């Protein structure tokens, strides 16, 4: 972490610097300290940093500094995987540019394309933050032009590839002038990211932040060994015992998230679900309710595991473990933001042992086991939730079978 004068050392436009100060950003995070200066110098860059590392400012500040406020047309393009991230990143740009004559427009599916067309025609619009699918639609309709773009950012690049956007990304980049500057940010570096960087980046500087250590140092990571049918009553006991006021609870599927949310509400907990089947309005309402504290629990699928900036999350609870160990770290990164401490509690059934071993190999952090909690006089509620999904994802289900041998309390398998 830097010192209070770090941003002033970059010789930024005073109006941009004032916007940074207005937001209270007076210290540099590691990714910002490593990335901002070379990007300002015109270098292409590959940044590997996990969610919550401060990477949005690492590319937003140089992009805003490079914008010619007198020239019309789109000069900056940020590609992101989800509409939530598009809205969030565009919002950060707008806040930073509050003293500049620069407007940033989010472009994503689920919003009226006519509304977006009007905003794109505004002469103040210099930057767009877009999901690949909707931007491709605008390009095909000729309602957006990228022929003046000088700066491209691929944010959460690995996530975009996971979602099948590689063809859209390559198509979009073919609309951009060849002499543009590119910055690519990704939490992981699979082969497709390497190929993308070799094709579209020129002699990029590589900035890896915590690339060899996947743990989140400021998260207290805890595990609980449970049977599937023990999860819901245990969650209720944890909520009573730990007084979780702002918690994210992750489920494996949309159906389970919906049913868990309803079950918690039936037991007088303020909970809302967020997943891909909700309308944009419903998702915005759920996130806003959680951000403002009206809802204490957000029951999420992995659509919320990355990219959403939700402050002051005290606990992340993995009600269902993810299939990919890397997703575990993206999930628990929702707490302990900006150097603050947080708590992550994972429910492990016998079916989760393999993924847990993968997590253990990827981190040096200690994962403490919590023995089954109890509260005298607390009435355990009952609920029927769908069984865990079969391997391979989707909404297919199978019933888990457990043997009837008594479990040994107080002893850990790990």
* Predicted confidence (pLDDT) per residue in 125-167, tens digit: 999 999 999 999 999 999 999 999 999 999 999 889 889 999 9
- Number of Cβ atoms within 10 Å of the Cβ of 358: 14
Give residue 359's pLDDT: 82
* Main-chain dihedrals φ then ψ at residue 78, nearest 5 degrees: -120, 120
Q: Is pLDDT at 414 greater than 50 in this prediction? A: no
Q: Is pLDDT at 100 greater than 90 in this prediction? A: yes
How are strands ordered across the β-sheet holding 76-79? 103-107, 125-130, 76-79, 151-154, 181-186, 45-48, 205-208
Q: Is pLDDT at 373 greater than 80 in this prediction? A: no
Q: What is the mean pLDDT of the chain?
A: 82
Taking the C-alpha atoms of residue 57 and residue 53, their distance in angstroms, rounded to an integer, is: 10
Considering only residues 195 and 311, tell me which one the structure prediction assigns the higher pLDDT: 195
Question: 7-208: which CATH topology?
Answer: Rossmann fold (3.40.50)
- CATH 3.40.50.300 domain span(s) along the chain: 7-208, 219-369
Span 200-229, mean pLDDT? 77
**Contact assessment for residue 316 and residue 335, using Cβ atoms and an 8 Å cutoff:** yes
Give residue 386's pLDDT: 67
Report the share of the chain in percent with pLDDT over 90: 47
Considering only residues 30 and 399, tell me which one the structure prediction assigns the higher pLDDT: 30
Q: Which helix (H) or strand (E) holds 231?
A: helix 231-242
Q: Is pLDDT at 333 greater than 60 in this prediction? A: yes
Give residue 405's pLDDT: 30
Q: Is pLDDT at 396 greater than 50 in this prediction? A: no
Taking the C-alpha atoms of residue 240 and residue 254, their distance in angstroms, rounded to an integer, is: 25
Q: Which CATH architecture has domain 219-369?
A: 3-Layer(aba) Sandwich (3.40)
Give residue 216's pLDDT: 60
Closest C-alpha to 261, from 314, 318, 300, 312 = 300
Give residue 104's pLDDT: 97
Give residue 302's pLDDT: 80
């Amino acid at each position: 972490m830097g010192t209070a004068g770090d941003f002033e050392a970059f010789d930024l436009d005073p109006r941009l610097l004032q916007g940074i100060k207005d937001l209270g950003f007076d210290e540099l995070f590691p990714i910002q300290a490593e990335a901002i200066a070379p990007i300002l110098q015109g270098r292409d860059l590959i940044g590997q940093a996990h969610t919550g590392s401060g990477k949005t400012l690492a590319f937003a500040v140089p992009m805003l500094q490079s914008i010619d406020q007198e020239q019309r047309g789109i000069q900056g393009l940020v590609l992101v995987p989800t509409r939530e991230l598009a809205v969030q990143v565009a919002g950060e740009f707008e806040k930073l540019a509050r003293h500049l004559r620069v407007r940033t427009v989010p472009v994503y599916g689920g919003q009226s394309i006519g509304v977006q067309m009007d905003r794109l025609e505004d002469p103040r619009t210099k930057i767009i933050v877009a999901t690949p699918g909707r931007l491709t639609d605008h390009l095909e309709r000729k309602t957006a032009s990228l022929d003046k773009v000088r700066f491209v950012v691929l944010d959460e690049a690995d996530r975009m590839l996971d979602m099948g956007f590689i063809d859209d990304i390559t198509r979009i980049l073919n609309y951009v002038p060849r002499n543009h500057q590119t910055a690519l940010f990704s939490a992981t570096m699979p082969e497709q990211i390497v190929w993308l960087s070799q094709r579209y980046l020129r002699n990029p500087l590589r900035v890896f932040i915590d690339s060899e250590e996947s743990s989140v140092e400021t998260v207290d990571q805890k595990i609980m060994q449970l049977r599937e049918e023990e999860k819901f009553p245990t969650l209720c006991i944890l909520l009573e015992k730990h007084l979780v006021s702002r918690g994210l609870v992750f489920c494996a599927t949309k159906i389970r998230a919906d049913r868990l949310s309803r079950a918690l509400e039936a037991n007088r907990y303020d909970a809302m679900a967020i997943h891909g089947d909700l309308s944009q309005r419903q998702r915005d309402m759920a996130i806003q309710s959680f951000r403002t504290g009206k809802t204490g629990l957000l029951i999420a699928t992995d659509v919320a595991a990355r990219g959403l900036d939700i402050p002051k999350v005290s606990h992340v609870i993995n009600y269902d473990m993810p299939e990919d160990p890397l997703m575990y770290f993206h999930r628990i990164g929702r707490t302990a933001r900006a150097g603050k401490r947080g708590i992550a509690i994972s429910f492990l059934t016998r079916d989760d042992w393999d993924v847990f071993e993968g997590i253990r190999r990827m981190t040096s952090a200690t994962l403490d086991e919590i023995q089954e909690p109890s509260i005298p006089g607390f009435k355990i509620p009952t609920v029927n939730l769908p069984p865990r999904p079969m391997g391979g994802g989707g909404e297919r289900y199978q019933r888990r079978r457990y043997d009837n041998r008594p479990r040994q309390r107080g002893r850990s398998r790990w």
